Amino acid sequence: MGETIGFSKEIHKKLAADLFNKTWDLLDKPNRTPEEDLEMIHTAHASRYHWGQVGTPLEFQRGEWQISRVYAVLEMGESALFHAKIALRTCQEKGIGDFDLAFAYEAIARANTILKNTAEKAKYLALAKEAGEKITDEGNRDYFFSELETIS
């Protein structure tokens, strides 16, 4: 963790969570403007920055995954893949599994879809499905597979 820039831990945590939620609002918004697309990139990165000051590896991983999803939605495959790989590496290095591991594989598959890397897409879709079957909570497992089906 880097040195905090004069904010208390509580402020970092509030900003991280609020920016994460704002990013989701923008992801879910139909017909975003170009300005909102740019705002979405900035809110995702800002959230991850603040989690980097006070969070745990789980928040770091989820922040990287969210950044990857933002870039995937914007069809910026290289950036999506870069952040998806960080999300996966965090899972692997910190022993994070279940829902988060499955979504890390999903993010790499999604990025490779944009990049038209068919073999890598297939590899990570298979890993995502395998990890998804191990998600313990049925609701989370159903949600994961509904998201996985959106990869074309």
Write the pLDDT tens digit of every residue in 83-130. 999 999 999 999 999 999 999 999 999 999 999 999 999 999 999 999
- Burial environment of residue 105 by CB neighbours within 10 A (0 to 12, 13 to 18, 19 or more): buried
Q: What CATH architecture does domain 9-148 belong to?
A: Alpha Horseshoe (1.25)
* Percent composition of the chain: helix, strand, coil (DSSP 3-state, to 5): 80, 0, 20
Q: How confident is the model at residue 65 (pLDDT cuts 50, 70, 90)?
A: very high
CB atoms within 10 A of CB 31: 5
List the chain domain ranges. Answer: 9-148
Residues 6+ apart with CB under 8 A from 14: none
| 23 pLDDT tier (thresholds 50, 70, 90) | very high
* pTM for the whole structure: 0.94
